[in-house]
Structure 1
Amino acid sequence: MAGREQEPQPSGIPGLRLRLDTELDEIAEHLRALADAKDRLQNLLEAVLAISRETELPVVLGRIVTTAMNLVGARYGALGVLDDSGEYLEEFITAGLSEQERAGLAGVELPRGRGVLGHLIRHPEPLRVVDIPSHPASAGFPPGHPGMRTLLGVAITVRGVIYGDLYLAERQDGRPFDRDDEDIVVSLAGAAGITIENARLFHRIRDSAEHFQRLLLPTLPDLRPFTGAAVYRPATAPARLGGDWYDAVLLPGDVCAAVIGDVVGHDMRAAAAMAQTRSMLRALLYDRLTPPSAVLRQLDRTLHAIADLPVATACLARIEPAADGWILRWSTAGHLPPLLLSPGRRAQYLHAEPGLPLGVSIEHHRPDHIRPLPPGSTVVFFTDGLVEHFAHGIDEGMADLADLATAHAHLPLQDFVKALADRHPGDGHDDIAVLALRTPPRPGTPTARTA
């Protein structure tokens, strides 16, 4: 600069050492910047993996908010989901508020997309605000709202359409959000859009699979003088068509036949095999003179002769009138035992020789079993998804189910099976079928229509 003397630079060894120290400091600064960038990239990858593991949409949305907060060290976070018009917020997921702060906002209407939030809706480019109250679009905060000055907002798009906006406020270190924060949240928002679309696709596929599965299962007929109820629940995994099925028919002479089964597999082949097996067994159920074991053997031979179907388990039972109550006759093909609830007693399993599953050996003999049933008894047939859990053995799940059934035995039968399906000890990774039959007070006693 004119008029100013240039300071002399050190020369010789001291000057060389000074220049070397300066260059080393610059190199160290670059290395620190590279390390920080590497850490942020690693954190971003871990964040993307974290949100991509979720499949339930509400969980996905909440995870996106908390993950973004962690990436940039924000104290508060929110995700506003736009309505169909794309002009207003119809859902607002928040994170970071303390219990006291949430209590202060009790009764306050959720944001609709006005003020600075609305600015991002109308102008979906990334937004960084150093002082929210000073922003031209600011409309102020409602009473009880915690104080906020800095904001980072990024739009989330799904298939090219803006799904909602991600808002972050107040860095923990008190500094305003910078360009690095913006870049990493924009990257997260891109991955979030894919995860949201995957979650929505998951729900569509699961709903379609469940609808298809339910079409294959029967509506129980009028089983008077018995009461019958059934429930089916699909697995939590997407598109896992199940092989669980049940059926019940009333035979002449106040005899009720029932069956429950499970085809190995979770695909279209398993579902088709289930439908074929149930149809053939429905025809065989009407032969009340043939013992259940012989019916299962005939079914096994028929399946073997006409199709290459997967292995399946089944339990076939008949409840018949007796002089002082009822008699349960049953035979199983590798299936879990029925659960019996006698009036005033704890639920107990009818453990007996299970026999081989269907599709293993057509020469194998399966034994028949007989058990007297007091009037007013309930027999529960179920598939293994009700009791299987990856964290413990099936015996523990069965014990928990017996406790659950005992606790709810007083309920009307449809409410009873629903309680078992809602509160079951299984982990949800397999579909569930439950069929329950309740005997009338005594043979020949009329009862209400099937529940």
Structure 2
Amino acid sequence: MFRRRPADSGEDLLVRLGWLTARARELAETQRSRVELAVALQQGMLPRDLPRFPGARLAVRYEPANHGLNVGGDWYDAFPLPGGQMGMSIGDVQGHNIEAAAFMGQVRVALRALASVTGDPGELLGRTNDLLVSLGADLFATCTFLRLDPAAGTLEYARAGHIPHIWATADGHSGIDDGEGGPPLGVLSGIDYPTTRRRLTTSGVFVLLTDGVVEGPSLHLDDGLDQVTRLAGITAVAGLDVDALATAVMKMAATVGHEDDAAVLVVGHDGGPARPTAEG
């Protein structure tokens, strides 16, 4: 004959409930600490101040994906190169965790270091890609790197799996860049990344983005890029400040309907009487 197991007393239930509550708080605190660490790591690896360049103006806006457990790996950067030129990069690391934030720092530092070795953006991305592959990381990153010479009015850039940038000029022309790109960084070694060269013959703006700005459940990528193109066109024709454009683009990012990183780097440049034309 089986005996019925005595029911837990009210005191036993309270003890169990207290233990489960304490355990849940402990896990929540651990996760919160990981997110705070990842956010601090992410923001600590981004430049604190943007450099100043004659003939060019820079503005940046950045919103990390620190909602809930999401911590992304988007970055932006701008730094001087020899001969009065500017180096600029923007990119997005796969994943939303502390590993993505750390990998972002590796990519940004590699780009800066190798930019002092080679001035060609395509070669720079190729060398950075090979370095990341050799590290054996499980992550990859998309990236755009630009080299601008404000005095000469020339722009060179290369893309590694990243969304195209936007351009607009004071004479009323604007568009989405159609330069050829290559695959993301850190996937396959020995990749050749083509370099696109433009001559800037009138004043205007460039807008570099990560996909968290222009793509999400509430906004298709093409529609998002078109909206940024319109904003850039208005800014260039009206001669508005690049900070105003960066703010307007970031406000649009709040409508895409997700909790991804969002980074915007706006570059305003001086020039002559015609719109950008491709050199190669």
TM range (shorter): 0.7 to 0.9
Are 1:285 and 2:115 counterparts? yes
Q: How far off is 1:299 after superposition?
A: 0.5
Structure 1 residue runs of 5 or longer lacking an equivalent are 1-197, 443-451
Question: Aligned partners of 2:116, 2:161: CA distance in 1, in Å?
Answer: 22
Once the two structures are superposed, residues 213-247 of structure 1 have per-residue CA deviations (whole angstroms, 9 ceiling, x without a partner) of: 32221124423212212111123632321110111
Contact persistence 1:332–1:354 (CA under 8 A): yes
Match of 2:167 in 1: 340
- Aligned pair partner of 2:74 in 240, 244, 261: 244
Contact persistence 1:223–1:249 (CA under 8 A): no
Question: Aligned partners of 1:407, 1:270: CA distance in 2, in Å?
Answer: 35
TM norm structure 2: 0.77
Rg larger for: 1
Q: How far off is 1:212 after superposition?
A: 4.0
Q: How far off is 1:399 after superposition?
A: 1.2
Question: Aligned partners of 2:217, 2:155: CA distance in 1, in Å?
Answer: 33
1:212/1:302 Cα in 2 relative to 1: closer, same or farther (>3 Å)? closer
Contact persistence 2:231–2:245 (CA under 8 A): no
Match of 1:402 in 2: 229
Partner of 1:253: helix, strand, or coil?
helix
TM norm structure 1: 0.49
Equivalent residue runs for 1:161-310 within 5 Å = 210-225=39-54, 226-235=56-65, 237-287=67-117, 289-310=118-139
Question: Aligned partners of 2:48, 2:89: CA distance in 1, in Å?
Answer: 14
AA aligned to 2:144 is: C
Partner of 1:423: helix, strand, or coil?
helix
Q: How far off is 1:388 after superposition?
A: 0.6
1:363/1:382 Cα in 2 relative to 1: closer, same or farther (>3 Å)? same
Higher RCO (CA-CA < 8 Å; seq separation 6+):
2
Are 1:352 and 2:182 counterparts? no
1:426/1:347 Cα in 2 relative to 1: closer, same or farther (>3 Å)? farther
Question: Aligned partners of 2:35, 2:134: CA distance in 1, in Å?
Answer: 34
Range with greater deviation from structure 2 (356-365 or 229-238): 229-238
Are 1:313 and 2:160 counterparts? no
Contact persistence 2:217–2:258 (CA under 8 A): no
- Aligned pair partner of 2:243 in 414, 427, 431: 414
1:275/1:426 Cα in 2 relative to 1: closer, same or farther (>3 Å)? same
Contact persistence 1:217–1:245 (CA under 8 A): yes
1:224/1:239 Cα in 2 relative to 1: closer, same or farther (>3 Å)? same
Once the two structures are superposed, residues 65-88 of structure 1 have per-residue CA deviations (whole angstroms, 9 ceiling, x without a partner) of: xxxxxxxxxxxxxxxxxxxxxxxx
Partner of 2:87: helix, strand, or coil?
strand
Match of 1:382 in 2: 209
Partner of 1:302: helix, strand, or coil?
helix
1:207/1:395 Cα in 2 relative to 1: closer, same or farther (>3 Å)? same
1:427/1:224 Cα in 2 relative to 1: closer, same or farther (>3 Å)? same
Partner of 1:241: helix, strand, or coil?
coil
Question: Aligned partners of 2:37, 2:82: CA distance in 1, in Å?
Answer: 38
1:251/1:388 Cα in 2 relative to 1: closer, same or farther (>3 Å)? same
Question: Aligned partners of 1:321, 1:401: CA distance in 2, in Å?
Answer: 23
Once the two structures are superposed, residues 39-79 of structure 1 have per-residue CA deviations (whole angstroms, 9 ceiling, x without a partner) of: xxxxxxxxxxxxxxxxxxxxxxxxxxxxxxxxxxxxxxxxx
Match of 1:71 in 2: none
Match of 2:252 in 1: 423
Question: Aligned partners of 1:203, 1:414: CA distance in 2, in Å?
Answer: 33
Match of 1:364 in 2: 191
AA aligned to 1:319 is: L
1:359/1:208 Cα in 2 relative to 1: closer, same or farther (>3 Å)? closer
Question: Aligned partners of 1:322, 1:222: CA distance in 2, in Å?
Answer: 16
Question: Aligned partners of 1:239, 1:206: CA distance in 2, in Å?
Answer: 7
1:393/1:363 Cα in 2 relative to 1: closer, same or farther (>3 Å)? same
Question: Aligned partners of 2:158, 2:87: CA distance in 1, in Å?
Answer: 12
Range with greater deviation from structure 2 (343-352 or 278-287): 343-352
AA aligned to 1:252 is: P
Q: How far off is 1:298 after superposition?
A: 0.5
Range with greater deviation from structure 2 (203-212 or 227-236): 203-212
